[in-house]
Amino acid sequence: MFDKLKRALQESLCVFDVSSRQNDNRFVLGTKQYQTAVGVKEATVWLVPYPDCHHLCGNYESEGRNILSTTTRRISDAEPELLEAAVASFMTEVDALVGCSYAVRCMQQA
């Protein structure tokens, strides 16, 4: 599962630094950097295992909170063929949410 996720991230997002380290019970898949008005900021994507599935989750701190806290994708272990579409959809949503963050909007207005 992890190798397929890494490949899906690498193929759809060449700017994504794909790693694979464990943090608590989740596996950090990689990070993506965004240019903002306050400098470069980083989003982290991880995989959380559950008994019958995995969840893609993310973290990007903006204005003192994780703006990706409600952004997840459930990946069923029974449907691995949907993995690449789930990763692409998840990262499209991450990019959109980060693009709406205050620091990115300030940079775009300048």
Q: What is the pLDDT of residues 12-58, one digit of tens each?
A: 544 455 555 555 666 777 788 999 999 999 998 888 888 888 888 99
Query: In terms of C-beta density within 10 A (0-12 exposed, 13-18 middle, 19 or more buried), how is residue 34 classed?
Result: buried
39 vs 83, which has greater pLDDT?
A: 39
Q: What predicted TM-score, i.e. pTM, was given to this entire model?
A: 0.77
pLDDT of residue 72: 93
- The whole-chain average pLDDT of the chain stands at 80
pLDDT of residue 15: 46
